[in-house]
Amino acid sequence: MVIGVLALQGDVREHVRALGDAGATARPVRRLAEIESADGLVIPGGESTTLWKLATAFDLLDPVRKLIADGMPAFGSCAGLIMLADRLQDGAEGQQTFGGIDMTARRNAFGRQVDSFEREVALRLGDRDDAGTVGEGAPFHAVFIRAPWVERAGAEVTVLGEDNGRIVAVRQGPLLATAFHPELTPDRRIHELFVKMVKGTS
């Protein structure tokens, strides 16, 4: 099993390392053939308008959109959440996404770069302790950098986490997205969840 990390812009190296820690073989991908040969795709945090423009320039926007629509597992953090949203609020003029998750993402929702912050967020990841009990709302140290949030989520979207009432982590089928950057922390639970999701579809 190989998971590709879209290497157009953003925290590529950090996601590759986190996926390796989570037990996956991970590699940067930027050509369509490399993406198609992967079992899953991570869209890293960075800047969503830059990701959109580069994906367009490299003729990846529509092909990756189709791969995701056809069932390729994908995980997006921060800007990656925006790229997996079916709808945008406060997007750049003409901005497009890969889509896949029935949600509206609001860009820069928590503020600009100067408003970045870190805090504990309760996540419902289905964690199990040694006794086999599923943890509800286990804390995760989340890093928010010029972060979006999910303004609205469709009926098929499972909300995995909120911050002060704002949706910051979601899942829909084989798609996973967080408004924060789990790749920047030593906590690998989100990457481990995505590895399990990829294994479940391969």
In 3D space, the residue among 94, 62, 99, 66 whose CA is nearest the CA of residue 80 turns out to be 99
User: Is 183 an active-site residue?
Assistant: yes
CB of 45 closer than 8 Å to CB of 11: yes
User: Is 191 an active-site residue?
Assistant: no
Catalytic residue among 118, 136, 156, 183: 183
Catalytic residue among 14, 15, 181, 192: 181
CB of 160 closer than 8 Å to CB of 182: no
In 3D space, the residue among 58, 103, 95 whose CA is nearest the CA of residue 76 turns out to be 103
Catalytic residue among 15, 78, 191, 192: 78
CB of 34 closer than 8 Å to CB of 7: no
User: Is 78 an active-site residue?
Assistant: yes
Q: Which residues are annotated as catalytic?
A: 78, 181, 183
